[in-house]
């Protein structure tokens, strides 16, 4: 079956999808595909066409999740399906592989099984989740959160963008608000192929990663209140500088993450400074903190150290602080069954795999809460992602897809040597 993967067909689908929302870039190929945009409509419509051309039945749920279903002759139509896919949306100025590779590799896996005459015992579904990137309506992984039951359809549809437009209105505008809810818990198993977004595979010279677990992620907000005052007339000893204090806070988060060691990371990635004038001592700073690790205890220690640092700043610098841990998702291990299927697929196809964890969050983390789930990675050149410079060689895309099809066939009960009758 893996030999039936058509590299040219896979590349054509990814490159065509990369044209929707294309942006000018000095290097590479960029795209901006926000949920509810014209580019998002075009990407969705193209996917539906490709699914139908491949003989899959298509359904769209109330939050815009798109599912194509292949029920091979001889398969039990009532059996729990095996599913695979990813997302079509992007960050502003993102690359062409993040998301679309997983969607079209899943479709290519179905086409390869069909072309090879494979006979899965279960239906196979190709999935594109809504708003994985969180660039418009949510913090991310919106569609999969609904599919996994972590968020209700009603709550999702009521989410608003910066202009006050609801997700419901946006989906209506592009014609992709369907009915019902895709239920990830009804799948027998799930696999997602994604670009690595790091350099482990490239450094090791290995074409496919077998993901063992997905990092947990916490987003915190820390506020430092000082006193705005004249930058020239206020002596240094008389200042309560909120930005100077916030700078120490950022360094403390970094130091605690370094002390934890890999794979823990901590980032103060956003600052809002008031009044933000060169001739005024900063009076207030709001910071955004991102903490990740595959060990939840490490995440808790970093967040605890952040709180402790704010307490120290209050005592020593006279500022007032606040800390809120508003978004918190624990690390997610992949199912042994799915990890085993990926590694067996590598052996059967003669394609080397490497075990590694995911430092980025993915839809699979939600799916793993309700069914057996696994992930595969394809190498990212120089680890660059969320950028027009994002690149995965087409040979690596094809190799990872070959492992994906073999793993899906394994999970779906297909015999590579069995011909359909």
pLDDT tens, position by position, 9-22: 999 999 999 999 99
194 pLDDT band (50/70/90 cuts)?
very high
Q: What is the mean pLDDT of residues 199-213?
A: 97
For residue 143, give every residue at least 6 positions away whose Cβ sits within 8 Å of its Cβ, in sequence order, or none.
Answer: 63, 64, 65, 87, 129, 130, 131, 132, 182, 363
For residue 36, give every residue at least 6 positions away whose Cβ sits within 8 Å of its Cβ, in sequence order, or none.
Answer: 136, 161, 165, 167, 169, 170, 171, 173, 174
State the pLDDT at residue 415: 61
CA distance readout (Å), 186 to 152, 189, 230: 17, 9, 63
From CA 149, how far away is CA 366, in angstroms rounded? 9
- CATH assignment, 216-329: 3.30.70.360
Q: What is the mean pLDDT of residues 378-394?
A: 97
What CATH class has 2-214+333-412?
A: alpha beta
Q: Tell the burial category of 400 from Cβ atoms under 10 Å away from its Cβ (0-12, 13-18, 19+).
A: buried
Peptide bond into 157 cis (omega under 30): no
State the pLDDT at residue 7: 97
Considering only 157-161, 170-174, 245-249, 415-419, which range has the smallest mean pLDDT? Answer: 415-419
pLDDT digits (tens, 9 = 90+) for 213-230: 999 999 999 999 999 999
> Structure tokens of 76?
């039990």
CA distance readout (Å), 227 to 268, 283, 315: 22, 4, 15
State the pLDDT at residue 135: 84
State the pLDDT at residue 418: 40
- State yes or no: pLDDT of 398 exceeds 70: yes
The number of residues in the chain equals: 421
- State yes or no: pLDDT of 118 exceeds 60: yes
From CA 325, how far away is CA 235, in angstroms rounded? 35
- The 3-state DSSP class for residue 293 equals strand
Q: What is the Cβ-side half-sphere exposure of residue 137, based on CA atoms within 13 angstroms?
A: 28
271 pLDDT band (50/70/90 cuts)?
very high
Please name every residue paired with 213 in a beta bridge, in sequence order, or none if there are none: 333
pLDDT > 70 fraction of the chain, expressed in percent and rounded: 98
Q: What is the mean pLDDT of residues 37-42?
A: 98
Cα of first residue to Cα of last residue in the chain, in angstroms, is 17
285 pLDDT band (50/70/90 cuts)?
very high
From CA 28, how far away is CA 26, in angstroms rounded? 7
- State yes or no: pLDDT of 410 exceeds 50: yes
126 pLDDT band (50/70/90 cuts)?
very high
- State yes or no: pLDDT of 420 exceeds 70: no
- State yes or no: pLDDT of 181 exceeds 80: yes
**Closest-CA residue to 190 (of 39, 338, 303, 403):** 338
- State yes or no: pLDDT of 417 exceeds 70: no
Q: What is the mean pLDDT of residues 167-195?
A: 98
State the pLDDT at residue 416: 44
Q: What is the Cβ-side half-sphere exposure of residue 420, based on CA atoms within 13 angstroms?
A: 16
Average pLDDT of every residue of the chain = 96
pLDDT digits (tens, 9 = 90+) for 58-108: 999 999 999 999 999 999 999 999 999 999 999 999 999 999 999 999 999
State the pLDDT at residue 329: 87
CATH 3.30.70.360 maps onto the chain at 216-329
C-alpha 36 chain-centroid distance: 18
Q: What is the mean pLDDT of residues 28-47?
A: 97
State the pLDDT at residue 140: 87
> Structure tokens of 294?
């595959």
pLDDT digits (tens, 9 = 90+) for 350-372: 999 999 999 998 999 999 999 99
From CA 31, how far away is CA 93, in angstroms rounded? 5
From CA 125, how far away is CA 111, in angstroms rounded? 12
């Amino acid at each position: 079956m893996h030999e039936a993967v058509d590299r040219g067909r896979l590349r054509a689908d990814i490159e065509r999808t990369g044209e929707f929302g294309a942006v000018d870039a000095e290097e590479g190929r960029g795209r901006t595909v926000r949920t509810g945009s014209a580019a998002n409509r075009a990407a969705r419509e193209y996917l539906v066409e490709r699914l139908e051309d491949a003989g899959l039945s298509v359904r769209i749920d109330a939050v815009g999740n798109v599912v194509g279903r292949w029920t091979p002759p001889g398969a039990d139509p009532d059996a729990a399906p095996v599913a695979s896919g990813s997302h079509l949306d992007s960050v502003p100025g993102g690359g062409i592989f993040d998301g679309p590779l997983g969607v079209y590799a899943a479709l290519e896996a179905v086409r390869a099984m069909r072309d090879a005459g494979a006979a899965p015992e279960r239906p196979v579904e190709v999935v594109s989740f809504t708003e994985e990137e969180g660039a418009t309506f949510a913090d991310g992984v919106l569609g999969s959160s609904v599919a996994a039951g972590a968020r209700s359809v009603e709550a999702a549809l009521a989410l608003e963008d910066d202009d006050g437009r609801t997700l419901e209105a946006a989906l209506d505008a592009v014609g992709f608000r369907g009915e019902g809810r895709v239920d990830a818990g009804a799948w027998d198993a799930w696999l997602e192929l994604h670009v690595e977004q790091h350099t482990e595979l490239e450094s090791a010279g290995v074409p496919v990663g077998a993901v063992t677990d997905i990092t947990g992620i916490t987003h915190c907000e820390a506020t430092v209140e000082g006193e705005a005052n004249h930058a020239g007339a206020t002596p240094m000893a008389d200042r309560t500088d909120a930005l100077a204090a916030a700078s120490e806070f950022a360094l403390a988060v970094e130091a605690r993450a370094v002390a934890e060691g890999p794979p823990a990371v901590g980032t103060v990635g956003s600052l809002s400074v008031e009044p933000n004038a060169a001739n005024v001592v900063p009076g207030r700073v709001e910071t955004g903190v991102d903490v990740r690790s595959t060990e939840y205890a490490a995440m808790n220690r970093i967040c605890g150290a952040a709180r402790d640092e704010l307490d120290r700043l209050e005592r020593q610098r006279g500022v007032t602080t606040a800390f809120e841990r508003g978004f918190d998702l624990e690390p997610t291990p992949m199912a042994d069954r799915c990890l085993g299927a990926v590694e067996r697929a590598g052996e059967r196809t003669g394609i080397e795999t490497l075990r590694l964890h995911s430092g980025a969050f993915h839809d699979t983390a939600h799916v793993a809460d309700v069914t057996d789930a696994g992930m595969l990675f394809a190498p990212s050149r120089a680890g660059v992602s969320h950028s027009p410079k994002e690149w995965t060689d087409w040979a690596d895309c094809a190799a990872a897809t070959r492992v994906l099809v073999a793993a899906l066939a394994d999970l779906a009960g297909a015999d590579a040597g069995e011909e359909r009758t």
